Amino acid sequence: MSRQKLLGLNGDEAAAYAIKQVNPDVVAAYPITPQTIIVERFSEYVADGLVDTEFVAVESEHSAMSCCIGAAAAGARAFTATAANGLALMWEMLYIAASLRLPIVMAVVNRAMSAPINIHNDHSDSMGARDSGWIQIYCENSQEVYDTCIEAWRIGEHLDVQLPVMVCLDGFTLSHTMENVLTLSDEAVRDFIGERPYIKVRGHLGEAEFRLDPEKPLTMGPLDLYDFYFEHKMHQVEAMKEALKAIPEIDEEYAEISGREYRLLHPYMMEDAEVAIIGLGSTMGTVRYVVDRMRRRGLKVGMVRMRVFRPFPTEELQKLLKDVEVVGVLDKAMSFGAPGGPLYEELRTIFYDVDENPIIVDYIYGLGGRDTPPHLIEETYEELLEVKRRGEAVEKLKFLGVRM
Q: What is the DSSP string of 201-253?
A: EEETTEEEESS--TTS----S----TTTHHHHHHHHHHHHHHHHHHHHHHHHH
Return the pLDDT at 404.
Answer: 80
Residues 249 and 352 in one domain: no
Residue 210 in domain: no
Domain assignment of residue 56, yes or no: yes
Does residue 139 sit in the same domain as residue 276?
A: no
Q: How many residues does the chain have?
A: 404
CATH code assigned at 318: 3.40.50.920
Q: 118, 127, 108: which is closest to 169 by C-alpha?
A: 108
Within a domain: 223: no
Domain hosting residue 152, numbered range: 5-198+238-258
| pLDDT given at position 204 | 80
Task: Mark whether 39 and 152 lie in a shared domain.
Answer: yes
**CATH number of the structural domain spanning residue 114:** 3.40.50.970
270 and 158, same structural domain? no
The burial of 353, by beta-carbon neighbours within 10 Å (0-12 exposed, 13-18 middle, 19 or more buried), is given as exposed
Question: Is 211 a member of any domain?
Answer: no
Tell me how crowded residue 292 is: count the other CB atoms within 10 A of its CB: 11
Instruction: Say whether both 26 and 87 belong to one domain.
Output: yes
CB under 8 Å to 257, separation ≥6 — which residues?
A: 1, 2, 184, 188, 192
| Domain shared by 148 and 297, yes or no | no
Candidates 125, 130, 127, 128; CA nearest to 111 is 125
325 and 246, same structural domain? no
Helices (H) and strands (E) in the chain, counts: 13, 17
One domain, residues 284 and 185: no
CA-closest candidate to residue 123, choices 375, 351, 342, 393: 342
Shared domain check, 282 and 247: no
Q: What's the domain count of the chain? A: 2
Of 225, 258, 291, the last residue of a domain is 258
> Per the domain annotation, does 224 fall within a domain?
no
**203 within domain boundaries:** no
167 lies in some domain: yes
User: Could you give the C-alpha distances from 245 to 130, 160, 313, in angstroms and in order?
Assistant: 19, 9, 10
- 151 and 95 in a common domain: yes
Q: Report the alpha-carbon distance of residue 87 to residue 91 in Å, rounded.
A: 6
Task: Say which amino acid occupies 201.
Answer: V
Q: At 183, which helix (H) or strand (E)?
A: strand 179-183
Q: Are residues 321 and 193 in the same domain?
A: no
Predicted pLDDT at 2: 86
CB 40 within 8 A of CB 10: no
pTM (2 decimals)?
Answer: 0.97
Same domain, 172 and 296: no
47: number of CA atoms within 13 Å, CB side? Answer: 6
**51 touches 26 (CB < 8 A):** no
Instruction: Return per-residue pLDDT of the chain as tens, 404 residues.
Output: 889 999 999 999 999 999 999 999 999 999 999 999 999 999 999 999 999 999 999 999 999 999 999 999 999 999 999 999 999 999 999 999 999 999 999 999 999 999 999 999 999 999 999 999 999 999 999 999 999 999 999 999 999 999 999 999 999 999 999 999 999 999 999 999 999 999 999 878 889 999 999 989 988 988 999 999 999 999 999 999 999 999 999 999 999 999 999 999 999 999 999 999 999 999 999 999 999 999 999 999 999 999 999 999 999 999 999 999 999 999 999 999 999 999 999 999 999 998 889 999 999 999 999 999 999 999 999 999 999 999 999 999 999 999 98
pLDDT of residue 123: 98
Q: Is residue 115 part of a domain?
A: yes
* Ramachandran area for residue 354 (φ above 0: left; ψ -120 to 50: alpha; else beta): beta
